[in-house]
């Protein structure tokens, strides 16, 4: 049965979409964040063929291939577009590169002049290869598999743009937020608009659901969390629900703790992805009556394998499997994960009965 108030306008047929519409399924649908990636030898081969990581993101043929690779192995209920959250700043004409052993490196945005150098006018031309990947996937994936489009949330993307890469304390981003509030608000407004356009275009090319990754949501105190995590996400969810009714949105405010509940209530997301720190019983009580929950196995358990993995899977299934639920990890797959451990996980979930 479709949940009252759900954005889904007709009863879906795919298991992943049924769960997002509020149905409780046994076994639950499952997919894994970063399910296409370096833990698979076939991915590494394709990545070498592509050249750089961004070249892979912008090569529709190869991006479709790496998206399909884990589906062939494990039979996930959903495929997620292979891309990266930093294609947005790249499309806004900020210099973005990925360096081996270092991660993303961007020319930092620190002043009004830096921000003035960004340009949204060429967004869709730059991202046309990503849209082509979505379109290709919409016909290439199995008929029973749902297609997820995604973006980074404005706050998380802004941290990379301001810091010039990853950060442990987000000092430059927070300094701008507090000491140059008008400049920071301009950047966030630009990101909300660019991200909204990007997600709508993914939907128009075949994405059936959207996930918004706010990886660094937990770095903000409550007042700023409400302003820069909840409010931009609310705007994006409202836009998607208004312009493309029936397309569900999953939010992932990683590290938000008890603010997860406020996030769910105030953003209007159809589903929420839980990080591994979230107490399962609390999530079942506080969140699952409000939306579908997704998660939240510790990715290191999939590296460890064996009985520890089995026990971890069972804990999550028993706690969350009695309501609307999608099995996933609490964050992305670790590159050192043995592929056979993912196969073990897949088989255990598929054979689970409540």
Question: Would you name the residues annotated as active-site residues?
Answer: 34, 38, 47, 84, 160
DSSP 8-state code for residue 283:
H
- Which of 98, 227, 229 minimizes the C-alpha distance to 153? 229
CA 335 to each of CA 55, 140, 163: distance values in angstroms, whole numbers, following the listed order: 20, 25, 25
Q: Which two tokens stand for residue 167?
A: 């950060």
- Supply φ then ψ for residue 207, to 5 degrees: -65, 135
What span, in angstroms and rounded, lies between the C-alpha atoms of 38 and 342? 13
> DSSP assignment of 162-179, as one string?
HHTB--SS-HHHHHHHHH
Task: Determine whether 286 is exposed, middle or buried from the number of CB atoms within 10 Å of its CB (0-12, 13-18, 19+).
Answer: middle
Side-chain-facing half-sphere of 152: CA atoms under 13 Å: 21
C-beta of residue 305 within 8 angstroms of C-beta of residue 338: yes
In the numeric block, the tokens 């993914």 are attached to 202
Q: Tell which residue, 352, 231, 319, 290, has the closest CA to residue 3.
A: 290
């Amino acid at each position: 049965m479709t949940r009252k108030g759900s954005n889904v306008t007709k009863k879906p047929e795919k298991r992943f979409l049924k769960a997002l519409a509020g149905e409780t399924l046994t076994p639950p649908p499952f997919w894994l964040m970063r399910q296409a990636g370096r833990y698979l030898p076939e991915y590494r081969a394709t990545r070498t063929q592509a050249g750089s990581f961004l070249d892979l993101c912008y090569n529709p043929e190869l991006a479709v291939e790496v998206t399909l690779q884990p589906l062939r192995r494990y039979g996930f209920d959903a495929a997620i577009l292979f891309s990266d959250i930093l294609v947005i700043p790249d499309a806004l004409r900020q210099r973005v590169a990925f360096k081996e052993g270092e991660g993303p490196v961007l020319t930092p945005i620190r002043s009004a002049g830096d921000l003035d150098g960004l340009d949204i006018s060429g967004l869709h031309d730059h991202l046309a290869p990503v849209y082509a990947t979505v379109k290709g996937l919409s016909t290439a994936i199995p008929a029973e598999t749902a297609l997820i489009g995604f973006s980074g949330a404005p706050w998380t993307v802004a941290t990379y743009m301001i810091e010039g890469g990853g950060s442990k304390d987000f000092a430059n981003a927070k300094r701008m937020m507090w000491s140059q509030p008008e400049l920071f608000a301009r950047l966030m407004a630009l990101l909300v608009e660019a991200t909204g356009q990007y997600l709508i275009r993914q939907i128009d090319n075949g994405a059936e659901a959207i996930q918004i990754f706010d990886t660094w949501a937990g770095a903000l105190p409550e007042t700023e969390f409400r302003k820069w995590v909840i409010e931009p996400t609310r705007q994006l969810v409202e836009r998607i629900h208004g312009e493309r009714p029936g397309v569900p949105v999953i939010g992932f405010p990683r590290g938000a703790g008890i603010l997860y509940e406020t996030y769910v209530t105030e953003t209007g997301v159809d589903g929420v992805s839980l990080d591994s720190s979230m107490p399962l019983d609390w999530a079942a009580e506080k969140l699952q009556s409000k939306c579908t929950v997704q998660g939240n196995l510790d990715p290191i358990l999939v590296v460890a394998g064996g009985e520890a993995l089995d026990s971890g899977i069972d804990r999550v299934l028993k706690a969350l499997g009695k309501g609307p639920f999608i099995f996933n990890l609490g964050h992305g797959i670790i590159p050192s994960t043995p592929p056979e451990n993912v196969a073990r996980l897949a088989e255990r979930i598929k054979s689970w009965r409540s």
